[in-house]
Structure 1
Amino acid sequence: MTGRPNRRPNRHPVRHREGGRGPDAVVIGTGPNGLAAGVTLARAGLQVELFEAADTIGGGLRTLPLFDSEVLHDICSAVHPMAPASPFFRAFDLAAHGVDLITPTLSYAHPLADGRAALAWRDLATTADALGVDGPAWRDLMEPLIAHSAQVVAFFLSDQRTLPADPTTPLLLAHRILRHGTALAHRQFRTEEAAALLAGTAAHAIGRLPSLAGGAIALLLGHLAHTTGWPLPRGGSAQIAKAMAADITAHGGVIHTGTRITDLGALPPSRVVLADVSPKGLLEIAGANLPHRYARALESFRYGPAAAKVDFLVSDPIPWANPQLRTAGTIHLGGTQRELYAAESSTARGRLPRHPFMLIVDPAVTDPDRARAGRRPVWAYAHVPHGDPANRATLVRETIERYAPGFQDTILAERVVSAAQWEAYNPNYVGGDIGAGAITLRQTFFRPTIRWNPYRTPLPGLYLCSASTPPGPAVHGMPGYLAARSALRREFGIHLPKTAYPAASSPR
């Protein structure tokens, strides 16, 4: 059995505070979910302390200068479709905390090899009109989702264990997921443009395609492109983390950086511990104390394909051959639907395709302040097999060059993070899996294990609150919020209403 030190189990590893000493709650990790847990617990009136292994907070929400002190690069995530839609962030009110989410009018684009491009405009009618004969089909797919967007988002961002507040939502989604998440997907559109436009959103599942999980993600992200949009935070992703951290400290919380937790015994005594770590990380921290059956279930948790990232410092905007792409917030590179499906399925089987799926972002297109004279950041991900150790900079450069001739001439500097290196940067990205676990149908409903409460572990007072728990990856904060809500109810007797999210409260 891996990840479990050979020492005598302690079934009560969370050391309880005595005589008023120590925090009420401790959070391990300050990614978006650890911070969301901290916000929720602190606003409930608890004394909270957070521990971060790195020297800076944020997890996947870090923005740093890499080559030039005046040019900031998003180290992990850059574009956040889920942030303005998330019930947690809507209640937290990012704008009120100084975070300006800038939403491009062209949410995302998908070029094809011969100069054509499919465009997902924020405006549904504009998108449908540009898709020609497939315009009515795109409108029929998206209009009902847009009309019921709040219910759709609430369904997808739930704990996947309780019945939806609106029982008609699963019916609205079911036949659409079957049509676009199975082999039927090949017959839903008449043009390559429309088929590729939706396939690019399905590829955010980072796994075999078509799949039911991919179809569900395509519907979620696809319809958000026409509602709250796919925004970038002004100044970079770190602005979201900074806002949440400021709220925690304003409510009496304490954040420790540069403090890696390798054993629960290293934490101060508290009533509860919430761990924003992967199942592998939880085994490393608490493995010897976990019941055998639960530990085995964590060990069987599957991780998915990976991402290899290249950060570029360039002299000019990306010279896309199709000029319409030059205003897009996000670019998907993957060819036609069939080519993209084949590439993603090959990657999931552990074989690097000739043309893997890629996401490209030129942040200064949406946020001009990110650029300086003759210098601007470019963010690029390629989907690669799990644990891939190779430097994929050449592959990324040449792929962008196919659609943007002259791009390589603009490169001033580059930084590569292989799939294997991602885990060293963030242990939650096991083998470079930035989704913190394979996004499959089974692991959608039983993430990370088959338990009625996916956040509560068998150890008293210990909860898991990472993206390896429902509702899964993306910057929406819901795993942290839902885990904190569970801990508040069970450990402190604080019962929040079913639809309650952290309301504004006065700082201490």
Structure 2
Amino acid sequence: MMTRSDQSGGSRADDLNRPGFTLPEAAEPGRAAVVGSGPNGLTAAALLARAGWEVDVYEAHALPGGASASGDTLGAGTTVDLGAAGHPFGAVSPAFHELRLSEHGLRWRHPPVVLGHPLEGGEAALLYRDLERTAEGLGEDQTAWRAWHAPVVQDPYGTALNVLGPLARAWPRPLGMVRFGLRAPWSATVAARAAFRTDQARALFTGSAVHAILPPGRPLTAAFGTLFGGLGMSTGWPVAEGGSGAIVAALLSVLTAHGGRVHLGHRVTDLRELSSADLVLLDTTPAQAVALAGDLMPTPVRAPLSRWRHGSGVSKVDFLLSEPVPWRDERLRGAGTVHVGGTAEHLSRAEADALAGRMPERPFVMVCQQQAADPSRAVAEAAGHTVLWTYAHVPLGYAGAVRARIEEQIERFAPGFRDTVVRAVETRPAQLEQWNPNLVGGDIAGGSMAGLQLAARPRPALRPHRLVRPQAGRPGVYLASASTAPGAGVHGMAGAWAVRTALADLHAGRATTPGR
């Protein structure tokens, strides 16, 4: 069982022994341009600036941060996460640890309960930041639950090193990757039925797997259930104190402390305006990268990016409540995240409908109660109120309203919920994309996680982040977004891997086949 010193994260001994993200040797530092200021772009920029590079970040929006931003959209005194809310990957990110974000103001806060999953006619399944306590609550499944999740719980930081990067590489912890890999290829549905007997354990596992935004019957979704559950029971699913924008503020603090610059309201439409840079890193979708780089990209690189597919979307509703959610199982009041959707079978049906373009009657709804860990989310004029963050999985680009369906889902497990609603703000897929063009059709994963797009993001290659190799008089161009390895999540690792690839290319300085 892990020891913990305070709410900010793991124990001090764990923190001292955590691996960071080291960069390879490179030629003399030069100039770098980063397009997009999401967590991946800012991580790339901060790592380069710290290594002595002259770095400029260009952001089309008036505010930095991409989908990791916060605001007071529910009124004065509220802090609402406009995009990402809980951060299981942020807590274990080697890149964030390397940048020492805690020294730049970032504080992780953990709720009493990591995750809750209510079921009709029964007690909710609860996941704690403790494997033993979680297992004990799952009755006859406790032994199987311990055994299934042990590889991640016993070495969460090693697991993060293994999985938060391209799969086609030498794994830093090979034995741990093999143990994890034995659980990964299966569908969550098959794994849950084979490993567990109770509805509680199956729902708790399947709900975590649905973070892939895929039907849990798809291959490899068991990897998500195992990973999210294991991280939750070790390093947790914390929130950032003061909102997810605090993560961006910490990254900006590192960047500017080393001389980096951010240009807001500056939309880059042609890479030729960045021709004086030695490296260009794009925190964009593949389609945007193709539009920017054009014929600079070799055909073997451009072709798979042009075929990139997006998966299901999300539709978001934020609520200001007069009191905490009146969950039928009162223990859920202490949960940072609640998966609302019913049994594993219900989740499977809802996800299949969304992917097929049908709006589910009872969609999967993710509810975040950040105030369970961070009381600052409602202060001053909003004191005594509760800020509630929710989204539902919907068909890509769905244009209809979902507030009523989200309320109906929550009401199933929290009778009287509607009576507590003071204010609500709904943000549909088109509005999400308008706010952040990387969220195409409400796709928060940067592209479908199905099949090859999970295993080889954004294309099969030994260096998937490389779009254009640097040559004399022409900058190297690299993709540094959730559309490349290791995928979605506020962890900065896609940006970190893009930097590592770029510096390795400069150090090697030898001509090879483009895109390989």
Tell me if the contact between 2:110 and 2:237 (Cα under 8 Å) persists in the aligned partners: yes
Which fold has the larger relative contact order, with Cα–Cα distance below 8 Å and residues 6 or more apart in sequence?
1
Aligned-residue offset at 1:489: 2.3
Q: Secondary structure at the match of 2:103?
A: helix
In 2: Cα distance, 1:459 partner to 1:308 partner: 38
- Give the one of 322, 335, 359 matched to 1:315: 322
Aligned-residue offset at 1:117: 0.5
CA shift in 2, pair 1:169/1:212, >3 Å: farther
Q: Could you tell me which residue of structure 1 aligns to residue 264 of structure 2?
A: 257
Identify the range of structure 1 (235-244 vs 279-288) with the bigger mean alpha-carbon deviation.
Answer: 279-288
Kindly tell me the number of residue pairs found equivalent between the two proteins.
Answer: 474
Q: Secondary structure at the match of 1:345?
A: helix
Q: Could you tell me which residue of structure 2 aligns to residue 159 of structure 1?
A: 166
Tell me if the contact between 1:182 and 1:212 (Cα under 8 Å) persists in the aligned partners: no
In structure 1, runs of 5+ residues without a counterpart are 1-19, 495-508
Tell me if the contact between 2:188 and 2:205 (Cα under 8 Å) persists in the aligned partners: no
Q: Secondary structure at the match of 1:414?
A: strand
CA shift in 2, pair 1:293/1:485, >3 Å: closer
AA at the equivalent of 2:487:
G
Q: Does 1:231 align with 2:256?
A: no
In 2: Cα distance, 1:423 partner to 1:123 partner: 37
Instruction: Tell me the C-alpha RMSD between the 2 structures.
Output: 1.9
In 2: Cα distance, 1:433 partner to 1:295 partner: 21
Q: Which runs of 4+ in 1 moved over 4 A?
A: none
Identify the range of structure 1 (138-147 vs 171-180) with the bigger mean alpha-carbon deviation.
Answer: 171-180
| TM-score normalised by structure 2 residue count | 0.88
In 2: Cα distance, 1:291 partner to 1:341 partner: 40
Tell me if the contact between 1:32 and 1:475 (Cα under 8 Å) persists in the aligned partners: yes
Q: Could you tell me which residue of structure 2 aligns to residue 247 of structure 1?
A: 254
Identity of aligned residues (%): 39
Q: Could you tell me which residue of structure 1 aligns to residue 404 of structure 2?
A: 394
In 2: Cα distance, 1:152 partner to 1:175 partner: 13
In 1: Cα distance, 2:168 partner to 2:302 partner: 21
CA shift in 2, pair 1:294/1:131, >3 Å: same
CA shift in 2, pair 1:178/1:284, >3 Å: closer
Aligned-residue offset at 1:352: 1.7
Q: Secondary structure at the match of 2:247?
A: helix
Tell me if the contact between 1:463 and 1:487 (Cα under 8 Å) persists in the aligned partners: yes
Q: Secondary structure at the match of 1:484?
A: helix
Tell me if the contact between 1:28 and 1:273 (Cα under 8 Å) persists in the aligned partners: yes
**For each residue in 1:94-139, what CA deviation from the matched residue of structure 2 results, as whole angstroms up to 9, or x when unmatched?**
3222111001231100001224200001121111111111111111
Q: Could you tell me which residue of structure 1 aligns to residue 440 of structure 2?
A: 430
Q: Could you tell me which residue of structure 1 aligns to residue 501 of structure 2?
A: 486
Q: Could you tell me which residue of structure 2 aligns to residue 369 of structure 1?
A: 376
Tell me if the contact between 2:117 and 2:338 (Cα under 8 Å) persists in the aligned partners: yes
Aligned-residue offset at 1:60: 1.4
Aligned-residue offset at 1:291: 3.5
Q: Secondary structure at the match of 1:454?
A: coil
- Give the one of 411, 424, 431 matched to 1:421: 431
Tell me if the contact between 1:115 and 1:403 (Cα under 8 Å) persists in the aligned partners: no
Tell me if the contact between 1:308 and 1:383 (Cα under 8 Å) persists in the aligned partners: yes
Tell me if the contact between 1:181 and 1:214 (Cα under 8 Å) persists in the aligned partners: yes
- Give the one of 133, 142, 153 matched to 2:140: 133
AA at the equivalent of 2:445:
G
Q: Does 1:114 align with 2:124?
A: no
Aligned-residue offset at 1:187: 2.9
Q: Could you tell me which residue of structure 1 aligns to residue 150 of structure 2?
A: 143
Q: Secondary structure at the match of 1:451?
A: coil
Tell me if the contact between 1:179 and 1:185 (Cα under 8 Å) persists in the aligned partners: no
Q: Could you tell me which residue of structure 2 aligns to residue 26 of structure 1?
A: 33
Identify the range of structure 1 (93-102 vs 270-279) with the bigger mean alpha-carbon deviation.
Answer: 93-102
CA shift in 2, pair 1:472/1:179, >3 Å: closer
**For each residue in 1:455-506, what CA deviation from the matched residue of structure 2 results, as whole angstroms up to 9, or x when unmatched?**
1113641111001010000011111011011112223669xxxxxxxxxxxx
In 2: Cα distance, 1:293 partner to 1:178 partner: 28
In 1: Cα distance, 2:273 partner to 2:501 partner: 24
In 2: Cα distance, 1:37 partner to 1:53 partner: 17
In 1: Cα distance, 2:335 partner to 2:94 partner: 26
Q: Does 1:100 align with 2:107?
A: yes
